[in-house]
Amino acid sequence: RDFCKSLPKIELHAHLNGSLSEKTLTELGSSPDDVAEYQRLQRTPPEGRNLSDCFKIFGFAHKATATPEAVYLATKNVIREFYDDNVIYLELRTTPREEVGIMTAESYVEAVVKAIQDNTYDILVKLILSINRQHSPELSKNNLDVILKLKEKYPNIIRGIDLSGDPHKGNFEDLKILFETARKNGLRTTLHCGEVKNDEEVSQILEFRPDRIGHAPFLHPNYGGCSKNWNLLRMLKIPTEICLTSNIISGTTKSYELHHIKEWIKHDLPFSLNTDDKGVFHTDLSQEFERALKYLHIKNEQILEISSNSVNHSFATQEEKNKLQEKLKEWVYTNC
Ligand code: 5GP
């Protein structure tokens, strides 16, 4: 526990509204009933839950972050909590959201950016903006316009674009043009991939050659994927953002011991360890590393290697990456 807690960590896959602690929900004025229900859902064992149930929990967070002031406070708290867990680099992702008459997609993103700008803790924070696959292509196109406008304004904060949302809904092919446009405009790309069995979409996503993919539980043939896609991933070596606890609780992976990441390790494919939604899944990054040590029989040296590789997979600038690598080296020098 001490090793994982004190290790300077790199978080590349954290959804803002999935990362709210109960304390933040209460601070934002959520009713005791909502907080109690949030806790109940958080603690329901994996057997009693599926991916769709997990998506219901986001409703509680969205209700609590329905004004720019609440979004600002939520972002500040999330940054502080990652910092308290010794995360030195955080890529936060969130979907621009409008609340009619109260908040526009633009004022939503501005509130998140302001919280990042106002951060005084020793943690470097970048923003990835999400396209939700449940939204209509028109709404997503409008969100992309906002994203590109604000990327011009905050090029060193807004670094990437993500595809997320309920994987049972929508499809990548309809949204591909938006990701192509984002890439042409200098945004890095990361796409949730293979969270349900859908070989055709996984193939389309890999062919797009994103900078990173998320989760990928149904990609390897032993886990319901097809050999063609697995071989393509092996060839392209696209880094995968792994979220152990999230996969177990949402039921896309049977157990920590049988987690699909074993195939990535066996074939020496690049990956990072992440929390996904530390509020929804009641975890933190130290615990994710502990579980990797315990269940996947990863050694401390490999954990260091994962952290260092994660820096390379990040959307930070080269200069920022060099500084982060220095911090990791310093920690190894004084602690190992
Ligand atoms: P937000 O974008 O509102 O800050 O964070 C919550 C949103 O992130 C959810 O509504 C959902 O669209 C997305 N999200 C969070 N966790 C997951 C996940 O495990 N898989 C997918 N596909 N999307 C997720």
Residues 210-250 have pLDDT tens digits of 999 999 999 999 999 999 999 999 999 999 999 999 999 88
Active site residue 110: no
Compute the distance between CA of residue 71 and CA of residue 17 in angstroms, rounded to an integer.
9
Answer yes or no: is pLDDT of 51 > 80.
no
The span from the CA of 230 to the CA of 317, in Å, is 30
Q: What are phi and psi of 21, to 5 degrees?
A: -80, 165
Determine the residue of 128, 130, 172, 175 to mutate for testing ligand 1's pocket, defined as the one with the most ligand atoms within 8 A of the Cβ atom.
130
For ligand 1, atom 11, which residue shows the shortest CA distance? Answer: 165
**Cα–Cα distances in angstroms (integers) from residue 234 to residues 231, 240, 268, in the given order:** 5, 11, 9
15 CA distance to ligand 1 middle (Å): 6
Of all atoms in ligand 1, which is nearest to the CA of residue 246?
19
Q: For 302-324, what is the mean pLDDT? A: 97
C-alpha 267 to ligand 1 mean position (Å): 29
**317-328: pLDDT as tens digits:** 999 999 999 999
Is the pLDDT confidence value at 261 over 80? yes
What pLDDT is attached to residue 293? 95
> pLDDT digit string (tens) for 134-149?
999 999 999 999 999 9
**Which residue ranges have their beta carbon within 6 Å of ligand 1?**
15-18, 58, 94-95, 130, 132, 164-165, 167, 192, 195, 246, 276-277
ipTM: 0.99
- Going edge to edge, which strands form the sheet with 124-132? 9-15, 87-94, 124-132, 158-164, 188-193, 212-215, 240-242, 271-273
Cα of 200 from ligand 1 centre, angstroms: 22
Most ligand 1 atoms within 8 A of CB, residue of 12, 13, 15, 276 to mutate: 15
> What distance in Å separates the CA atoms of residue 318 and residue 280, rounded to the nearest whole number?
33
3-state secondary structure the chain: CHHHHHCCEEEEEEEHHHCCCHHHHHHCCCCHHHHHHHHHHHHCCHHHCCHHHHHHHHHHHHHHCCCHHHHHHHHHHHHHHHHHCCEEEEEEEECCCCECCCECHHHHHHHHHHHHHCCCCCCEEEEEEEEECCCCHHHHHHHHHHHHHHHHHCCCCEEEEEEECCCCCCCHHHHHHHHHHHHHCCCEEEEEECCCCCHHHHHHHHHHCCCEEEECCCCCHHHCCCHHHHHHHHHHCCCEEECHHHHHHCCCCCCCCCCCHHHHHHCCCCEEECCECCCCCCCCHHHHHHHHHHHCCCCHHHHHHHHHHHHHHCCCCHHHHHHHHHHHHHHHHHHC
C-alpha of residue 190 to centroid of ligand 1, in Å: 13
Query: What percentage of residues in the chain have a pLDDT greater than 70?
Result: 99
Mean pLDDT of 170-184: 97
Is the pLDDT score of 46 beyond 90? no
Per-residue pLDDT, averaged over 108-114, amounts to 98
Token code pair at residue 25: 């929900």
Minimum mean pLDDT among 6-10, 14-18, 44-48, 59-63: which range? Answer: 44-48
Beta strands 188-193; 158-164: pairing state:
parallel
For residue 157, pLDDT over 90 is answered with yes
CA atoms within 13 A on the CB side of 117: 11
Domains of the chain with bracketed CATH: 2-325 (3.20.20.140)
